[in-house]
Structure 1
């Protein structure tokens, strides 16, 4: 019998946060091993756990999985959060990849010496490229694909909450997305995840950035 799911990552959001979100919505309990030292990372490397020398790493069902998209797809397939058929799945994946592109722009901000130009770029792209797609998709339907909850819906909620942290009021011109947020946040598992004391991580701070840089032996500026 497989044990509890274990996540190996820093004590912060990064690429692991979408995995935390999806496991939470699937109501899967998980433990976390937080990387705080270079030695921990080197141990994972020497044990052969990091195929491409990268985290996130997720231990699940007797396997050690790496690569964020692969992990998300596995969880989504296992817990019926990836559409009902092949046509639905490719739509879910298209939406998910677009959302990951946008979220990754936000993720690198703490590691940027001058974030202002990047913030302006994110705001422009969010309002002109990404949010209109989801506003149109949610004009009528409750969920993005096939009338059922998918990992794309979970990522859309995560992404829009991240955007609102940086740009309060950004959803003023996107009422369908705002209504979608309201529907999603009353899902019991999500409601619990959004409350203090959950495993949801706060916005990255200086300590998070310092730890990441030390573990990976990276020096600023690198962006």
Structure 2
């Protein structure tokens, strides 16, 4: 028997039909799921795939990419690819028709920048492209006089592909007005015992889809500060968010407007589906959990919290000295002590924490976490107040790595002026 390993995102999507085929045929396989954060922050993951994309199916050591190639292969192996060349051609036709509809939607949802153009394209997709595609698929389904699916007497790859792709749309929050024949087909597929059990037991729904369904609005000043890591988490997760940047010099006049929403009269403030949250630590922890930046178990989560606390011990004295007490008569003395003793000692301790992680470049595990983003932002803030810290090698390497992540590099180039 062949050995199978499927690598795909930790979500429902293009790899699901392969998982369904394995489940229905009781075929053991290694289900290697990768978070979006890991994929975007670790370029080596893409380099280890044949074409820089997921899913990838490894069969006895041979890697195969492209979801349709994977689906077609497994359909042939397990009897979901028709009885003759005409049925196979018709199955391919339906799968390609589904792709014509879905690929446009995926491009709009995940790859277009937020703005009026995206909203126009999305409206056109939902009101025109999707209904037209559904109508064509309904007609094709009606042409089959032999069974409940698109081709022949039994369900084929085309039927599973349809059910997977269109149920994905509905999970994403886009209710599709399916004709009764297509709705019945989807229900037939999704109620197959092995598929139903697989979906019910799949505890981790696609994090990216959950994020798309939420709306976010961030309120903070028009400079980095305590909201910068929040912004970076949205960028790395490719989650759109609205932002209101408030000029610091106007805050005194604008503060009364926000006081009812600010328990302590401070920013940042994040609205999530209309619910208001304050305190940067609480906001970042929530986003880190939601976006996969908070470790893989309670031990890693605790270590991330520990690093964040240690970092606060290093940086908060600088906030007190350089921001709140900069007019103090003993400012020069305290500033010199901080720059020459407190900061170097703190960086040395953080360096030791980095050295304790043998799995990756950051503080915890293999992937970039909230703690790593916090380090880069906080040490960058030190430089912005004209401190000239001498970064130890691991800290310097981590800073360079994070600042070279494309989304962060583009953001810094735009705002760090």
Q: Under a length normalisation based on structure 1, what TM-score does the superposition of the two structures give?
A: 0.75
Which residue pairs with 1:213 in the alignment? none
* Bigger CA radius of gyration: 2
SS at match of 1:69: helix
Distance 1:169 1:103 in 2: 12
Q: Quick one: structure 1 residues 131 and 32, their matched pair in 2 at CA, closer, same or farther if it must change by over 3 Å?
A: same
Which residue pairs with 1:156 in the alignment? 375
Distance 2:361 2:371 in 1: 13
Establish whether residue 119 from structure 1 lines up as the match of residue 335 from structure 2. yes
Which residue pairs with 2:275 in the alignment? 63
CA RMSD of aligned residues (A): 2.4
Which residue pairs with 1:207 in the alignment? none
Distance 2:231 2:334 in 1: 26
Corresponding pairs, count: 193
Which residue pairs with 2:286 in the alignment? 74
Distance 2:300 2:257 in 1: 40
Establish whether residue 167 from structure 1 lines up as the match of residue 167 from structure 2. no
Q: Under a length normalisation based on structure 2, what TM-score does the superposition of the two structures give?
A: 0.42
Q: Quick one: structure 1 residues 51 and 187, their matched pair in 2 at CA, closer, same or farther if it must change by over 3 Å?
A: same
Structure 1: give runs of 5+ residues left out of the alignment: 203-223
Structure 2: give runs of 5+ residues left out of the alignment: 1-212
Distance 2:327 2:214 in 1: 43
Distance 1:103 1:21 in 2: 19
Instruction: Identify, as 1 or 2, the structure richer in helix.
Output: 2
**Quick one: which of 144, 168, 176 aligns to 2:394?**
176
1:5-24 counterparts in 2 under 5 A? 5-24=216-235
Establish whether residue 89 from structure 1 lines up as the match of residue 297 from structure 2. no
For residues 96-143 of structure 1, what are the alpha-carbon distances to aligned partners after superposition, in whole Å with 9 as ceiling and x for unaligned?
A: 122233333333413421543343233221211x21222223335412
Which residue pairs with 1:44 in the alignment? 258
CA drift at 1:147: 1.9
CA drift at 1:181: 1.7
CA drift at 1:39: 4.5
1:135-150 counterparts in 2 under 5 A? 135-139=351-355, 140=358, 141-150=360-369
Distance 2:410 2:332 in 1: 33
Distance 1:95 1:52 in 2: 25
Q: Quick one: structure 1 residues 61 and 98, their matched pair in 2 at CA, closer, same or farther if it must change by over 3 Å?
A: farther
SS at match of 2:276: strand
Which residue pairs with 2:240 in the alignment? 29
Q: Quick one: structure 1 residues 131 and 169, their matched pair in 2 at CA, closer, same or farther if it must change by over 3 Å?
A: closer
SS at match of 1:82: coil
CA drift at 1:188: 1.1
SS at match of 2:277: strand
Identify the range of structure 1 (6-15 vs 178-187) with the bigger mean alpha-carbon deviation: 6-15
Q: Quick one: structure 1 residues 7 and 107, their matched pair in 2 at CA, closer, same or farther if it must change by over 3 Å?
A: farther
Q: Which has the higher contact order (CA 8 A, sep 6+)?
A: 1
CA drift at 1:66: 0.7
Distance 1:18 1:186 in 2: 15
